[in-house]
Amino acid sequence: MTDEDKYVLRHEWERNNGKIHQRINEVDNKHVNLHNDLRLLVTRLDDSSKMFSDNQKETIRTLEKINTNVTGLNERIRDVEYSSHSVKERLDTMEATADERRKGNAQIWVAVIGSIATIVVGALTFAQVFF
């Protein structure tokens, strides 16, 4: 009886060996499928990164154009600011001149009214001599 336990029958050995090979093939197939899925995923990520890189280049070109336009606008805004400053100075000068003329006109009117009043008073006084 003990001799029988030492030996394995051929059909049992082949069946057990077949199960081991079947399990090895299942694991191997699983790894091949996962490897193919991983390769597909890496390919998709590579394509996505290339598209992203191309879009990034276009965005950089667009931003460079915007930067160039804004730089030109800075110069134009500086010119407009200088022009508005000089216009403001000219308006202040004109306003000061107008104020001086108003003051001068008021003084002229005061002098004219004073002269007329003096003439009228003198004429009334002189008229009393005749009447």
The radius of gyration computed from the CA coordinates of the chain, to the nearest angstrom, equals 54
pLDDT at 69: 85
Tell me the residue range of the domain where 34 lies: 2-130
The tokens of 11 are what? Answer: 């059909």
pLDDT band for 99, please (50, 70, 90 cuts).
confident
The number of folded domains in the chain is 1
Instruction: For the chain, give the percent of residues with pLDDT over 70.
Output: 95
Task: State pTM to two decimals.
Answer: 0.41
Distance, in Å, from the CA atom of 121 to the CA atom of 124, rounded to the nearest integer, reads 5
Distance, in Å, from the CA atom of 52 to the CA atom of 45, rounded to the nearest integer, reads 10
pLDDT band for 3, please (50, 70, 90 cuts).
low
